[in-house]
A and B are shown apart, each in its own frame.
Chain A
Amino acid sequence: MGTIVLKEIVDNLGLEVKTCAEKLETTKVSGGYVSDLMSDVIANSKEGDLWVTIQAHQNIVAIATLRELSGVIIANGKQPESETLEHATQENVPILLSNLTSFEVVGRLYQMGLRSS
């Protein structure tokens, strides 16, 4: 279960890329984490994790930066607020959207070989 490049995940899951399209090929994903409680993500996510959530508030960017996550998938067709995308662009955090539920997204990531790090 080595690392996967973010681009492969985007293609495989058909994600909509909202920010940082230029770094998908070079961003390595080493694990995954799913939670909608940001205090929990701060406490338990690991560097390089791809984070799956339905929270769309701009604080997701700060937390992804703080924890050095490889990106954020906002699931269930939720639309991020415009401030979220502005911050994500500034901070170089890939924001990816999926119409699938968190359950489906995580299941597919697991199938691709991604695990918790």
Chain B
Amino acid sequence: MHTCLSPCADIWNTPKRLIEKAREQGIHIIGISDHNAAENVAPALRYAEKYGSGEITVIPGMEITTAEEIHILGLFGDLEQVLEMQSFVYARLSGKNEPEVFGEQIIVNEDEEVLGFNEHLLSGAISASLEEVIERIHSLGGVAIAAHVDRPSFSVISQLGFIPESARFDAVELSSSITLKEARRRFPEIARYSVISSSDAHYLHWIGNATTEFLLAQPGLDEIVLALKQKDGRRILME
């Protein structure tokens, strides 16, 4: 989901409110994935510490826009990895945000206090290809997921026509507007991948619009990786 750091997300999507809303919806694991930035991951991790580890787990992430204008979801094991990914992205992202046009990019703390505004053009594309971005995510120890493959814009299928073999995705993501059955009919090529569904929440009320149920020993990215590979009894439970 997106925080108020994403220019297109609601300004009320503070880490604190996202977590409270997720808890209300009975969600145990959330991924924080702003467009091309990760400054609001740390406050989300800190806020989640108020609760026991079994109650809510925050996965550090980022939704990266490649040179082909494809959205890739990078999920990471810890804060350090996602911040390294952020450096890779910033070194390849040009332009300055115009808040009146694209929206505010608000950096906050766990108590919803505004710490500043991100000045990068986060709605832009970086100058690295799909394959380069996936490779960087993997080299940092992260997971690369093809974001909302059913959507008519910014998806690997909309931009490139089909998912190239050269792109080593760990999974594909469906948006809340399509069922798994319908997706399998419209995009047969996703049979090669594990499939997750997520809300891509830009507003608090989107949270829970789509979720993925995993069978895990405990919450965490390493366990999710096992589930994506259907290893050691871990798996995705989807109707």
Chain A residues near B (Cβ < 8 Å): 37-39, 41-42, 55, 57-59, 62-63, 81, 83
Measured between alpha carbons, how far is A41 from B158 in the docked complex, in Å?
A: 10
Interface SS of chain B: loop
Q: Report whether A57 and B130 are in contact in the complex, using a CB–CB cutoff of 8 Å.
A: yes
Q: Report whether B68 and A57 are in contact in the complex, using a CB–CB cutoff of 8 Å.
A: yes
**Interchain nearest-CB distance for B144 vs A (Å):** 16
In the complex with contacts A55-B68, A57-B68, A81-B129, A42-B161 CB distance below 8 A: yes
Interface SS of chain A: helix
Q: Report whether A59 and B160 are in contact in the complex, using a CB–CB cutoff of 8 Å.
A: yes
Q: Report whether B161 and A41 are in contact in the complex, using a CB–CB cutoff of 8 Å.
A: yes
Q: Report whether B158 and A37 are in contact in the complex, using a CB–CB cutoff of 8 Å.
A: yes
Measured between alpha carbons, how far is A14 from B162 in the docked complex, in Å?
A: 32
For chain B, the bracket of interface size reads: 10 to 19
Q: Report whether B129 and A59 are in contact in the complex, using a CB–CB cutoff of 8 Å.
A: no
A37 CB contact (under 8 Å) in B159, B164, B166 = B159
Measured between alpha carbons, how far is A25 from B68 in the docked complex, in Å?
A: 32
Residues of A within 8 A of B129 (CB): 57, 81
Q: Report whether A59 and B162 are in contact in the complex, using a CB–CB cutoff of 8 Å.
A: yes
Q: Report whether A39 and B68 are in contact in the complex, using a CB–CB cutoff of 8 Å.
A: no
In this assembly, does B157 line the interface, its C-beta being within 8 Å of a C-beta of chain A? yes
Measured between alpha carbons, how far is A42 from B159 in the docked complex, in Å?
A: 11
Residues of A within 8 A of B164 (CB): 57-59, 62
A39 CB contact (under 8 Å) in B130, B158, B166 = B158
Q: Report whether A83 and B166 are in contact in the complex, using a CB–CB cutoff of 8 Å.
A: yes
Residues of A within 8 A of B158 (CB): 37-39
A62 CB contact (under 8 Å) in B157, B159, B161 = B161
Measured between alpha carbons, how far is A55 from B68 in the docked complex, in Å?
A: 7
- Residue of chain A at shortest CB distance from B130: A57
Q: List 25 A-B contacts (CB under 8 A).
A: A37-B158, A37-B159, A38-B158, A38-B159, A38-B161, A38-B162, A39-B157, A39-B158, A39-B159, A42-B161, A55-B159, A55-B160, A57-B130, A57-B160, A58-B164, A58-B166, A59-B160, A59-B161, A59-B162, A59-B164, A62-B161, A62-B164, A63-B161, A81-B129, A83-B166
Residues of A within 8 A of B152 (CB): 39
Residues of B within 8 A of A37 (CB): 158-159
Residues of B within 8 A of A63 (CB): 161
Closest 9 CB pairs of A and B: A38-B161, A59-B160, A42-B161, A38-B160, A39-B158, A63-B161, A57-B68, A39-B161, A59-B164
Measured between alpha carbons, how far is A41 from B162 in the docked complex, in Å?
A: 12
Residues of A within 8 A of B159 (CB): 37-39, 55
**Interchain nearest-CB distance for B192 vs A (Å):** 16
Measured between alpha carbons, how far is A59 from B152 in the docked complex, in Å?
A: 17
